[in-house]
Amino acid sequence: MTTGVLALQGGFGAHLAALGAAGVEVRTAAELGQVDALVLPGGESTVQARLIERGGLRQALEQFVRSGKPVLATCAGLILCARYGWLDVSVQRNAYGRQVDSFEAMDDSGTRRLVFIRAPRIERVGGGVEVLATLKGEPVLVRQRNVTGACFHPELGSP
């Protein structure tokens, strides 16, 4: 199984490092066609959206998401999923406070150490969305069918 990491902008390198030989960079629709799963990394969602539109990738990504293949979206990737309707959630960008740019915290179950970097806050989850992890009662890891979205950076946390 090959996992593609959308490599237009942002933190795709850390995902590729975590994936090792199983990971490949994806920049085109043709490359997307070669992978079995996809990571939408963190970064700057406004820049990523512009590059997706400019590169004509929006439709190919949409098809990939609808195909049911696994998608992991972190941070800016989660923002894109909300924006494009790939996850039925509403997010507020940079909502964990400007003065606290980055922080680490244990999730409410006490089992995951989470790394947040100018993270979006999930303000609403739709009916079909499962909440997999929370921080102080707020959802930080969610799943809808094949799409999993994280406010934090699993690729940077301890395993």
Residues of this chain that interact with ligand GLN (CB under 6 A) are 42-45, 75-76, 79, 93-94, 117-118
| Annotated catalytic residue 151 | no
Q: At what angle do helices 58-66 and 45-54 cross, to 10 degrees?
A: 100
| Annotated catalytic residue 155 | yes
First-residue to last-residue Cα distance in the chain: 21
Annotated catalytic residue within 15, 75, 81, 151: 75
- Give the Cα separation of 53 and 153 in Å (integer): 24
Q: Report, in Å, the least distance between residue 10 CB and ligand GLN.
A: 6
| DSSP states of 117-153 | ES--EEEEE-TT-EEEEEETTEEEEEEETTEEEESS-
| Annotated catalytic residue 75 | yes
For ligand GLN, the closer of residues 69 and 118 by Cβ is 118
Q: Report, in Å, the least distance between residue 77 CB and ligand GLN.
A: 7
Annotated catalytic residue within 15, 81, 151, 155: 155
Question: Which residues belong to the active site?
Answer: 75, 153, 155
